Chain A
Amino acid sequence: MIRAQVLICGGTGCTSSGSGKLITEFESQIEKNGLVDEVKVVRTGCFGLCALGPVVIVYPDGTFYSQVEEKDVKDIVEEHLLKGRVVERLVYNEVAEGTVIEHGNVSLNDTTFYAKQKRVALRNCGVINPESIDEYIAMDGYAALGKCLTEMTPEEVIKVVMDSGLRGRGGGGFPTGLKWSFTAKNQADQKYVVCNADEGDPGAFMDRSVLEGDPHAIVEAMTICGYATGASEGYVYVRAEYPIAVARLQKAIDDAREYGLLGKDIFGSGFDFDLFIRLGAGAFVCGEETALMTSIEGNRGEPRPRPPYPAVKGLFGKPTTENNVETFANIPQILLHGAEFFNSMGTEKSKGTKVFALGGKIHNTGLVEIPMGTTLREIIEDIGGGIPNGKTFKAAQTGGPSGGCLPASMLDIEIDYDNLVAQGAMMGSGGLIVMDEDTCMVDIAKFFLEFTVDESCGKCTPCRIGTKRLYEILEKITKGQGTLQDLDEMEALCNYIKDNSLCGLGQTAPNPVLSTYKRFKDEYIAHVVDKKCPAGVCKDLLSITIVEDKCKGCTLCSRVCPVGAISGTVKNPHVIDQSKCIKCGACIEKCKFGAIIKK
């Protein structure tokens, strides 16, 4: 009889920090201590707190261990599992510091990281073994599909999705129910369901986590969508760079087929549906729906003009419904608990919850799911644990290379689709990159633009050439060669690219530039007029000097300088040769007297 379970995160983050070895070690220690019949080890999906991986949770008490190493396993098994004593040095410290540990009851939900979250799309991630269809079923899995097929008409299913207020989580925010109804209306001999798992925004990994942690939710949701829209085949387009996600999804599809949850006559309803995976090679443009479908068809992944929209003429020229992974992940919950369950959360126009991937200069990097309408401040300061090293918050970038930045003055805006767009940012797929005072906004704009320059497919001129020219202007500015005229031209070019590009990639590519220019114009001016980078990032605008009074002549800096730019004799102030200096900052780190400054 199993009395305790050890859940170990098998998501990509924790796998790369060594959770695979932990599983083996736990199994061997458990065997050594004769606990095989009492304790079970389960490999789950992502818990969300990736910064502190590998993460291990021991149930039934729910003790939350973070950054567990192989050598710690022995202690957890011998102390906690055998003797019931929580290994306090490994407990996630936010809990350990503030709470009294009583009878090993250190629950995950007591942490501020989880307390403000509301998990709908991620509800099974980190709770079930994603490779076990039985565990998914135990958590009410496939019950929504059963309900749809045996008790509801396709029209009723669409109505529930429409009433729930669910909007596309891939970034566009188009009402999902409406999208389904368009495909349902079109008559055709064959229709398709497509799941867009081509997650490309730098820093976003919610789709990967859902596929890794709860793949059956996607299988179930796509089957429901097939029933509602009259499609009998589905494709999941997932990037090949997500090997764990691909393997688990394939296992989920195979198991579902074996159980008859995919295939012919599902639940004896006469409805047939099957699902296939297509691997993407990692081109960003393939996240655009028409390019994605072109790629599934076996052609070069390039977008085409819309209309016709996919609901009319999509995959292989047939009516197609395409939704993002996170959108699908909400579907079974909505159908199981009703539209009200979902539309009772969130704001007036944005219902439900949204998953964000927190990254950048923030304590708790990882995955969080919050009700729409939560403020940016709550996400960053409470859930995210604030900015590390005592630095101050400068801006947050949402929507990745298509989005914009929100400065400190907007920390209190409530996050939803419309508020973000009104502020010149966008929801995007949910990447949230936090920047502190040491980030140069011109440099950030250049970084995102470099990404879109690389990823532009080249089909239309405004995007192919426009983004390249825009990048060159930014490069000129960060090198201190920009003029005020460049700033005007930059803005005009941004608007031209936005208005004339063929697909979403080009239409949104200038957003990071426009939004940083709007919010941090003074930084652009400083680069152009004063030839200074206020954040101290753009190397060409910096000089590193030694303050004569403070230098003790210890010679440490001259020894660490990789290019031999520092000269001086023992006990006499040193000097940096500006023509040789590469501004690497190695000397600043080494100086014990704070005598070297960057400005």
Chain B
Amino acid sequence: MKSLAELAAIKEKMQNKVVLREGSSDVRVVVGMATCGIAAGARPVLNAFVEAVNGLELNDKVTVTQTGCIGICQYEPVVEIFEAGKEKVTYVKMTPEKAKEVAEKHLKGGNIIAEYTISNV
């Protein structure tokens, strides 16, 4: 190790891998992953969120996690977004493509995509 820059480069590279363990993000993306959710395709949605959040470098702000059945099985895959001090947003009938869009517009841009939310069905 000859310089601080080398150290910083390793830190940068590894950061994503340990940030998960801090678990105190401001925003939580929760994917319903009960049998109904999985059958409707929640796994690819979850993975799409994880990748999109990472790609947009939102790891330190957004936690992507999963939960059991939310109770509205006909609308699965269901994704809920919790943000401190704001009302929760529930997206329904999600797909990996929609997930990517939500990550870009909602998580990064701060604009809720109304047409995908439960209030629209």
Of B37, B46, B65, which is in contact with the most chain A CB atoms at under 10 Å from its CB? B65
CB of B18 closer than 8 Å to a CB of A: yes
Q: Does B7 contact A (CB under 8 A)?
A: yes
Within 8 A of A (CB), among B11-35: 11, 13-15, 17-18, 20-21, 23, 25, 28, 30-35
* Minimal beta-carbon separation of B108 from chain A (angstroms): 17
By the criterion CB–CB under 8 Å, are A103 and B23 in contact? no
Quick check: is A275 within 8 A (CB to CB) of the other chain? no
Specify the main secondary structure of chain A where it touches its partner.
loop
Contact stretch, chosen from B47-55, B91-99, B113-121: B47-55
Q: Does B2 contact A103, Cβ atoms closer than 8 Å?
A: no
Interface pair B46/A3, CB less than 8 Å apart: yes
Docked pose: A146 CA to B68 CA in angstroms: 46
User: Is B73's beta carbon under 8 Å from chain A?
Assistant: no
Asked if A82 contacts B38 (CB within 8 A), the reply is yes
Q: Are B10 and A59 within 8 A (Cβ)?
A: no
Q: Are B1 and A1 in contact (CB-based, < 8 A)?
A: no
Q: Which of B11, B17, B23 contacts A62 (CB 8 A)?
A: B23
Q: Is the CB of B2 within 8 A of A267?
A: yes
A133-141, A455-463, A488-496 - the one binding chain B: A133-141
**Residues of chain A contacted by B11 (CB below 8 angstroms):** 137-138, 140, 143
What A residues does B35 contact at CB under 8 A?
83
Contacts A7-B21, A103-B30, A138-B18 known; A267 to B65 CB distance under 8 Å?
no
The CA-CA distance from A38 to B1 in the complex, in Å, is 32
A135 touching B14 in the complex, CB below 8 Å, given contacts A1-B54, A3-B46? yes
Name A258-296 residues within 8 Å CB distance of B: 259-261, 265-268
> For the complex, is A20 an interface residue (Cβ under 8 Å from B)?
no
Q: Closest 9 A-B residue pairs measured CB to CB?
A: A84-B66, A138-B14, A84-B33, A85-B68, A260-B1, A3-B50, A62-B23, A103-B67, A268-B2
27 sample A-B contacts, Cβ–Cβ < 8 Å, listed by A number: A2-B17, A2-B20, A3-B46, A7-B21, A59-B21, A59-B23, A60-B20, A60-B63, A61-B63, A83-B34, A85-B68, A103-B30, A103-B67, A103-B82, A104-B65, A104-B66, A134-B13, A138-B14, A138-B18, A142-B7, A143-B7, A146-B4, A146-B7, A150-B4, A260-B2, A265-B2, A267-B2
